[in-house]
Amino acid sequence: MKAVVITSPGGPEVLQLQEVEDPQIKDDEVLIKVEATALNRADTIQRKGSYPPPPGASPYPGLECSGTILQLGNSVTRWKVGDQVCALLSGGGYAEKVAVPAGQVLPAPDGVSLKDAASFPEVACTVWSTIFMTSRLSVGEAFLVHGGSSGIGTFAIQTAKYYGAKVFVTAGSDEKLAYCKDLGADVCINYKTEDFVGRVKEETAGKGVDVILDNMGGVYLQRNIDSLNFDGRLFIIGFQGGSTSQINLASLAAKRLTVQAAGLRNRTPENKALIVKEVEKNVWPAIKEKKVKPVVHKYFSLSQAAEAHQLMESSKHIGKILLLP
């Protein structure tokens, strides 16, 4: 099969489409013929050499895909050959075929094209496992997502609105903020021209928001803490603004705050399967009702992976960037 290989750590130009061995499936895995895969920021970090795949995972990038099941492992019972699915991967999505544990596979959602289904697994599992399963965002609460126009952001806006939250977003341009508003965001903040802490306080009568999903890390930590209401929950999923920070711990105690951080890729297959099951139960109905829609900025072929990475790193996109074999 053909797959995108990271020929050496470096810039987008190190991504090369090459002929490689087909993946071998284990008893609890299925083999998927890939219809599409989607870019995630983690792929660009892996390309630079800073985010190696977990032991035993495919060396090729790609943390999600959609496609058709070609082959079943001996112990797989739920799926059959020919099923149209999408899946959460530990790697290997940038290829024509990929092996994945059966518990990380979801049916392609109704009403969405098979290729666009590739835009969902990573964002759905990230958003559901963080702000819902862990931070317990509930009806009537206020929720802030940084990077509202990203793949995670556009999905988080729609899902939080579906579950009855008031949604605040930050983004870096009026065009991105307008898109977020169209998706349902209630309060849209341009972080380049406005202080998000001040705006959050102003819009919440000084209280702050209840839950924050943050991709910036260190540079935003104290400001996120300052933006939270009593019993507020901050969940950190990225470190685009660095991974170190100095904070005032007294402000955590005074407002009874919770700060948590996690990734998806290095979780156990059992933990991923649990998240995937929850996503199918709680998010797939919203997609079926067309209350949560795929947001795809652009499609590239696998041979254009370098160009797709350049676009992602420019941050000029809104939503997801897909690669098609």
Whether 129 maps to a domain, the answer reads no
Convert 55-107 into a string of H (helix), E (strand) and C (coil).
CCCCCCCCCEEEEEEEEECCCCCCCCCCCEEEEECCCCCCECEEEEEHHHEEE
Whether 9 maps to a domain, the answer reads yes
Whether 87 and 272 have beta carbons less than 8 Å apart is answered as: no
Give the model's pLDDT for residue 38: 98
Are 277 and 253 in the same domain? no
- In the listed set 261, 287, 304, which residue is the last one of a domain according to the structure? 261
Whether 12 and 310 have beta carbons less than 8 Å apart is answered as: yes
Are 106 and 181 in the same domain? no
Are 33 and 88 in the same domain? yes
Strands 29-38 and 258-261: unpaired
Are 235 and 310 in the same domain? no
Whether 297 maps to a domain, the answer reads yes
For residue 203, the tally of other CB atoms under 10 A from its CB is 17
For residue 11, the domain's CATH number is: 3.90.180.10
Nearest to 146 by CA among 214, 199, 198: 214
Domain of 83?
2-121+268-323
Are 117 and 166 in the same domain? no
Are 93 and 180 in the same domain? no
Q: How many domains does the chain have?
A: 2
Give the model's pLDDT for residue 172: 96
Give the model's pLDDT for residue 129: 98
Whether 89 maps to a domain, the answer reads yes
Whether 62 maps to a domain, the answer reads yes
Are 211 and 182 in the same domain? yes
Whether 69 and 107 have beta carbons less than 8 Å apart is answered as: no
Whether 128 maps to a domain, the answer reads no
Give the model's pLDDT for residue 10: 98
Instruction: Write down the residue that tokens 């024509």 correspond to.
Output: 96
Are 231 and 194 in the same domain? yes
Give the model's pLDDT for residue 107: 98
Are 169 and 278 in the same domain? no
Strands 29-38 and 320-324: antiparallel
Give the model's pLDDT for residue 220: 97
Whether 224 maps to a domain, the answer reads yes
Give the model's pLDDT for residue 64: 98
- In the listed set 213, 234, 261, which residue is the last one of a domain according to the structure? 261
For residue 227, the domain's CATH number is: 3.40.50.720
CA-to-CA dists, residue 87 to 96, 122, 124, 125, angstroms: 14, 8, 11, 10
Are 147 and 223 in the same domain? yes
Whether 127 maps to a domain, the answer reads no
What is the block-wise mean pLDDT of the chain (325 residues), using blocks of 10 residues?
98 98 97 98 96 94 98 98 98 98 98 98 98 98 98 98 98 97 98 98 98 97 97 97 94 97 95 98 98 98 98 96 98
List, for residues 94-110, the tens digit of each pLDDT value. Answer: 999 999 999 999 999 99
List, for residues 106-162, the tens digit of each pLDDT value. Answer: 999 999 999 999 999 999 999 999 999 999 999 999 999 999 999 999 999 999 999
Are 173 and 106 in the same domain? no
Give the model's pLDDT for residue 158: 98
Are 6 and 117 in the same domain? yes
